[in-house]
Amino acid sequence: MYYTIMDTCVGEILIAGDKQGLRYVSFCQGKHPQEIQNDWEENQTFLQEAVDQLEEYFAGKRRKFSLKLSPEGNVFQLKVLKALEKIPYGVTKSYGEIAEQIGHPKASRAVGMANGRNPISIIIPCHRVIGKSGKLVGFGGGLDVKRKLLLLEGADIKEEQAYEKTLSTAGR
C-alpha cells in the first residue's frame, strides 16, 4: 500500500491506495483517522492523480472524481458507499433517503453507521449526508470540516444562518 499526506484547507488528509485502486482518504485530525501501517510505503507519485483531483476539488474546479476506488466493507456498507457516490455535488441527502434508495427504508441508523465507516472521504461524499431535519450531524472529520466542504460546494445548509449568527454574537 502506498500513501501520502496532503495539506488542504480542511487540514491534513491521508491518501492511500494500491494497484487495486484508492483505499483511503482520511482526515488526519478526525475522530477515527486511518493509521499508517508499518508495511505501507510513502509514494506521492503513485497517488498523484488523486492528489491532483483533490486539489482541483478544493480549488472549486472539480465537481466529480474519476479515480479507481477500492473501498472495503461488507455488502451493506458497499451498497451505501455506491449510493453516496450518486449524490451530486452541492446536494445533500438524509440518512433516511439513502436507506430508501438502497431498498432498506427502515435502516437509516445502519446507513449512518456505514456512512461513518466510509474509508474514502470526500471522493465518496459522505459529507453530503445530513440529518432528516437538515442539521449537520456525524462526520469523521468534524462538523466544521463537513460545513466547510458543503459550503465549498454551494450546498444549501439550513443551519448555516443560525451558525453565522452564533459566530457574530460570540465575540460580544
- Identify the CATH number of the domain in which residue 37 sits: 3.30.160
- Note whether 49 and 99 are same-domain residues: no
CATH number for the domain harbouring residue 152:
1.10.10.10
Domain holding 15, by residue range, is 2-58
Are 79 and 154 found together in one domain? yes
Q: Of 121, 127, 130, 125, whose CA–CA distance to 158 is shortest? A: 130
Sorting pLDDT into bands at 50, 70 and 90, what band is 67?
very high
Q: Let me know if residue 66 belongs to a domain.
A: no
Radius of gyration of the chain (CA): 16
Alpha carbon 16 to chain centroid distance? 15
Q: What is the pLDDT, as a whole number, of residue 63? A: 95
Residue 152 located in a structural domain: yes
> Could you list the active site residues?
126
Q: For residues 34 and 63, which has the higher predicted lDDT (pLDDT)?
A: 63
**Percent share of the chain, pLDDT over 90:** 71
Mean pLDDT of all residues in 60-81: 95
- Specify the range with the lowest mean pLDDT, choosing from 18-32, 104-118, 125-139: 125-139
Query: What pLDDT sits at residue 159?
Result: 58
The mean pLDDT of 73-84, rounded to a whole number, is: 95
